[in-house]
Structure 1
Amino acid sequence: MKDGDENEQVRELQARLRQLDLFDRAPTGFYGSITGKSVAAFQERRGLPVTSTVDAATWELLLSLTKEPTADELKPSTTNKLDTPDPRCMTGRVLCISKESRTLAWMIDGKVVSSFDVRFGSENTPTREGEFKVEWKAREWTSTIYHTPMPYSMFFSRGQAVHYSADFAARGYAGASHGCVNVRDRAKLAALFDQVKPGDKVVVHW
């Protein structure tokens, strides 16, 4: 495998490199410069010739050091890799939100049930950090300040909420929220909305 290749074997390569913390994003199936650098790092670490391409020796060694990727590893539910959970997230029912990895993990008794890419507020309207509780929920809501739709809102801190954002879905990280935690996967958030109850813990951390 080499630069420019695009196939399912490349996706498997990326998933296996990710198991070794050498590939920090969701597998794409495309062999570009980031994949090349990850392969080079693997080769250097293991004493192989550093070529940034995958020959038989590199592939066989990688296979021996990793397990066969699961379907979720090959096509993960989040683009961003989940952060190590904050210790406050390890007990009970928790929306565990990491600013560093830009992810939300819905956790029950320390286990991740589902996960999402999220977006936060700008410097002028930052998302507050700390430990909170889901105060109330609204399946359909429009911001009383900014007059924008906030479907599947789960409010946790004085008007700040986890909610679906059409802008995030369309523009990604080119934009920012007004302090809320934006989610771009509407269908998955709808399922989460039905599971989360008022009083469930919310942890926003770096």
Structure 2
Amino acid sequence: MANGSESDRVRELQARLQQTGHFSLNPTGYYGSITVTAVSSFQADRGLPATGATDTVTWQRLVGVTRKPTRDELRPPTTRPVAKPDPQCMEGRVMCISKSSRTLTWMIDGKVTSAMDVRFGSQYTPTREGTFLVGWKSRDHVSTLYDTPMPYAMFFSGGQAVHFSADFAARGYEGASHGCVNVRDEKKIASLFAQVRTGDKVVIYW
């Protein structure tokens, strides 16, 4: 396996590297620059040539110091590991949103029921932090200020809302919102939109 590879075996490689502390993201199945760096680091630690490519010796050495990843470890719900919930998230119905991990977890009475990748506003249009309530919902909302679609919008502070972003889905973290909490996965935000009620809590924290 090497840079550009994409397979379930790459996903297992990343999960095993995660166990050793060399891979900080969740498995994606794509062997990109982050995986190359992680493999190089593992190789250097084991006295192997730090090529960044996974040859037979590197794979065998990795398998020898790790256990077989579980299904949940291989296919986690978010790109980055979900952060420890803020204490404000532990009671009631809460969209618990971590800026540090860039994840949203939907929690009911302290239990995580779903999780998804999110992104935030830029330094010029920052997403507000704190504890809020969902004020209103709009399934097919279009921003009157920016004239852009905001599907599955759940407003929590003025014009700021949690909503699906086609731009986020296409460009990933290269872009930013105008202050809203963008969700990458349309199926997950559609399911979340159906569950969230007006008055449910929104906690945004680092």
Please indicate the TM-score interval, normalised by the length of the shorter structure: 0.7 to 0.9
Would you say the 8 A contact 1:16–1:69 is kept in 2? no
Match of 1:176 in 2: 176
Equivalent residue for 2:150? 150
State the shift of 1:110 in Å: 2.1
**What is the rounded CA distance, in whole Å, between the counterparts of 2:30 and 2:151 in structure 1?**
34
Change (3 A) 1:42 1:189: same
Post-superposition shift, 1:17? 2.9
For 1:163 and 1:5, locate their aligned partners in 2 and report how far apart those are by CA, in whole Å: 32
Q: Provide closer, same or farther for how the CA distance between residues 68 and 89 of structure 1 changes in structure 2, counting only shifts above 3 A.
A: same
1:1-206 pair list within 5 angstroms:
7-31=7-31, 34-35=34-35, 37-39=37-39, 48-51=46-49, 54-63=58-67, 68-70=69-71, 72-206=72-206
- One-letter amino acid of the structure 2 residue matched with residue 142 of structure 1: V
Q: Deviations over 1:45-94 (max 9, x none)?
A: 7xx4455552534312212xxx5321x42223222221222121122211
C-alpha deviation, 1:10, in angstroms: 3.1
TM-score, with structure 2 as normaliser:
0.83
Give unmatched runs, 5+ long, in structure 1.
none
CA distance in 1 between partners of 2:78 and 2:104 (Å): 9
AA paired with 1:154?
A: M
Gaps (5+ residues) in structure 2? none
Q: Is the 8 A contact 1:92 1:109 kept in 2?
A: yes
* Equivalent residues of 1:12, 1:69 under 8 A apart: no
Mean Cα displacement is larger for which, 80-89 or 152-161?
Answer: 80-89
Q: 1:204 Cα deviation (Å)?
A: 0.5
**Over aligned residues, Cα RMSD in angstroms?**
2.4
Name which of structure 1's ranges 20-29 and 182-191 shifts more when overlaid on structure 2. Answer: 20-29
| CA distance in 1: counterparts of 2:42 and 2:90, whole angstroms | 32
Shift of 1:26: 2.9
Task: Judge conservation of contact 2:17–2:62 (CA < 8 Å) in 1.
Answer: no
* Residue identity matched to 1:29: G
Sequence identity percentage: 61
Q: Contact 1:89/1:203 (CA < 8 Å) preserved in 2?
A: yes
Return the letter of the residue paired with 1:68.
Answer: P
Check conservation: 1:96, 1:105, Cα contact below 8 A. Answer: yes
CA separation of 1:40/1:152 partners in 2, compared to 1, >3 Å: closer, same or farther?
same
Query: Could you tell me how far apart the structure 2 residues matched to 1:158 and 1:113 are?
Result: 27
Q: Residues 192 and 19 of structure 1: is their aligned pair in 2 closer, same or farther, counting only changes over 3 Å? A: farther
Paired residues, what number? 200
